[in-house]
Amino acid sequence: MKKHTSRRDFLRSAVTAAPATLLGSALAVPTSSAHEDAATSNDKYHPAFFTTDEWRLLEAATDRLIPADELGPGALAAAVPEFIDRQMEAAYGHGRLWYMQGPFHPDAPDLFGHQSQMTPRDIYRIGFKALDRSCRELYGAAFADLPVATRDQTLTGLQDGSLQLEGLAGKTLFAQLLENTREGFFSDPQYGGNRHLVGWKFAGFPGARADFMDWVDFPNQPYPLGPVSIDGKRG
């Protein structure tokens, strides 16, 4: 994403492509204590699924997929890694939301949904280990320790398939990471991401307000009141 408009278009296209993720209708329902933790800084969050090395990789990768710049906060400020970690401990992470038996058609996920015996947990565990191994072989350092430009190059290699991983297609890991990063940036904050509603404010999404009747006669005008989360927090 070299141009500022690219980041803006990337994020807003994510909203229109998957509106269900805005309110997290299929996401793990947090407990009250988990909800309280979601409002704190990442420094106080202790991942339940990802190991220390995996967590560093996750932060480094999501930071490049949605970087902070003059247009607004990025994935780290929005607590996207926390969102992803929480989902790995939910039914989604264990693949309980899908039919997981073959035959699989990996070339047509848009038609048939998830097409693999691997759960999201498997994809991250196998993929992150293979990615760090590949980075050490190519550059002499783990992904999280690479310069920004090299991290971007590595992610591009995963996306276009030019970077081969052991035990998992690079495209599969990239698609999983990109999808979850977008979801974490735009989900309701009760699921751990979109901290301070930064994703909704960026996209101009009003959130879970109960009444919009005062604004139905003003099409194509920015909504001025800011977003509201499901539990009433305001952005």
CB distance 184 to 79 below 8 Å? yes
Q: Specify the pTM.
A: 0.80
* Long-range Cβ pairs for the range 167-174 (8 Å, 24+): 167/126, 167/130, 168/118, 168/123, 168/126, 168/127, 168/130, 172/116, 172/118, 172/123, 172/127, 173/123, 173/124, 173/127, 173/128, 173/130, 173/131
Q: What is the mean pLDDT of residues 97-104?
A: 75
- The residue length of the chain stands at 235
Q: What is the mean pLDDT of residues 89-111?
A: 78
Alpha-carbon span 220 to 65, nearest angstrom: 29
pLDDT band at 145 (very low <50, low <70, confident <90, very high): very high
Q: Is position 106 within any domain?
A: yes
- Expressed as residue numbers, the domain containing 27 is 4-215
Nearest Cα neighbor of 22 from 195, 182, 221, 196 is 182
Nearest Cα neighbor of 80 from 184, 4, 162, 170 is 184
Q: What is the pLDDT of residue 12?
A: 55
- Per DSSP, the three-state class of 195 is helix
Q: Is position 221 within any domain?
A: no
pLDDT in tens, 75-91: 999 999 999 999 999 99
Alpha-carbon span 227 to 209, nearest angstrom: 7
The two structure tokens encoding residue 37: 């933790």
Q: 2-35: string of b/e by CB count within 10 Å (b at 16+)?
A: eeeeebeeebeebbeeeeebbbbeebbebeeebe
- Does residue 25 come out as left (phi exceeding 0), alpha (psi in the -120 to 50 range) or beta? alpha
For residue 165, is pLDDT > 50? yes
Q: Is position 228 within any domain?
A: no
Q: Is position 220 within any domain?
A: no
> What is the number of domains present in the chain?
1
Q: How many CB atoms lie within 10 A of CB 117?
A: 11
- Mean of all residue pLDDT scores within the chain: 81
Q: What Cα–Cα distance (Å) separates residue 119 from each residue in 31, 58, 100?
A: 23, 17, 9
CB distance 49 to 93 below 8 Å? yes
Q: Is position 72 within any domain?
A: yes
Q: Is position 231 within any domain?
A: no
Q: Is position 227 within any domain?
A: no
Q: Is position 232 within any domain?
A: no
For residue 10, is pLDDT > 70? no
- Per DSSP, the three-state class of 61 is helix
